[in-house]
Structure 1
Amino acid sequence: MYYYLLAAIMLFLDQCSKYAISHNMTVGEQVTLIPNVLYITSSRNTGAAWNILEGKMWFFYIISIVVLAAVVYYMQKVGRHRPLLGVSLGFILGGTLGNFLDRIFRGEVVDFIHVYIGSYSYPVFNIADSSLVVGVILILIFTLLDGKKEKKHGRN
């Protein structure tokens, strides 16, 4: 199925970029791409977004396994029949696998995309995080569209 290929592509991009960062930059090193907007900043994270639950690796192992099982289940049951949902789940699968592999093999997640919005320094993230966010946004869109379709056809 194409959705698993999408997940594999996201995983490949994520792991290649993290390999390049971890082997070519020291932690804290920064490269400017667009001044005052976009930087590559080598960072490590042992928690989740914004370093919440830092160091709770077993929690993240369990959550990742549950998410991976749920995504594969829904991909097989519903996603393959609903293209937008399948794409959403493909992004989520790739992103979850990317950060899960980091936690297993590195004991931390490699982050490197650093964005400034005005004077606000957005927390450093990676391609897996981006893949997860895109997947969740697409699921929200799918849910809204599906709800409108059911309402239109009189199914509440």
Structure 2
Amino acid sequence: MPDAVAATGRWYGLATVIVAMDQGSKWLASSELAYATPVKILSWFNLTLHHNEGAAFSFLAGAGGWQRWFFAVLALVVSGMIAYWIKELKPRQWQLSLALALVLGGALGNLVDRVYLGYVVDFISVHYRDWYFPTFNVADAAISVGAFLIIIDSVFNTVTDSPSNETGHS
């Protein structure tokens, strides 16, 4: 059991690091960038401060304020479920644990913004000529990578919770 506890702590620790990186980068962006004024880093990459009052891709951003608490409660419930899921996984299920820790850290990072600011700070802007991907942040990137890894794990991973047929019965 100590291995399981250590593994769980490792994943919660990773989620905490994601929250810290997310909050630190958002603080820096909010301190150093003028709102909606792009700072060109590369031909396809800018830093541009935006405030997202909605969910992904500003979904429900203009809904009148109720969405702030709806998304906060939703993030809290989902984070609780993910934290429990991580705790229940076996140490050999590290790929899924990694993916869930990324999603958990990202969800909590954006939750902090939503509760304390009423919006999520976004500042990473990727584009190709005049086509701009919606501005995002470190938490969004962690959630996206984590979700991708969950899909990969569900398709390719053969590690399961079911015991193997070790009794010799057919």
Q: Which TM-score applies when normalising by structure 2?
A: 0.82
Q: Confirm whether residue 39 of structure 1 aligns to residue 61 of structure 2.
A: no
Deviation of the 1:118 alpha carbon? 4.4
1:2-55 CA-partner distances (Å, limit 9, x unpaired): 1112111111110000001111222112210102x0000011100011110114
How many residue pairs get aligned? The number is 150
Q: Which residue of 1 aligns with 2:16?
A: 8
> Residues 1-156 of structure 1: matches in 2 within 5 Å?
1-35=9-43, 37-54=44-61, 55=65, 56-78=67-89, 80-146=91-157
Question: Could you list the runs of 5+ residues in structure 2 that have no partner in the other structure?
Answer: 1-8, 165-170
Name the CA distance, whole Å, in 1 between partners of 2:90 and 2:145. 16
Deviation of the 1:119 alpha carbon? 3.3
Deviating 4+ runs (over 4 angstroms)? none
Q: Which TM-score applies when normalising by structure 1?
A: 0.89
Name the structure where helix makes up a greater proportion of residues: 1
RMSD: 1.8
**Share of identical aligned residues, percent?**
33
Structure-2 change in CA distance of 1:141 and 1:18 (3 Å): same
Q: What is the identity, as a one-letter code, of the residue corresponding to 2:37?
A: E
Contact persistence 2:92–2:159 (CA under 8 A): no
Contact persistence 1:79–1:85 (CA under 8 A): no
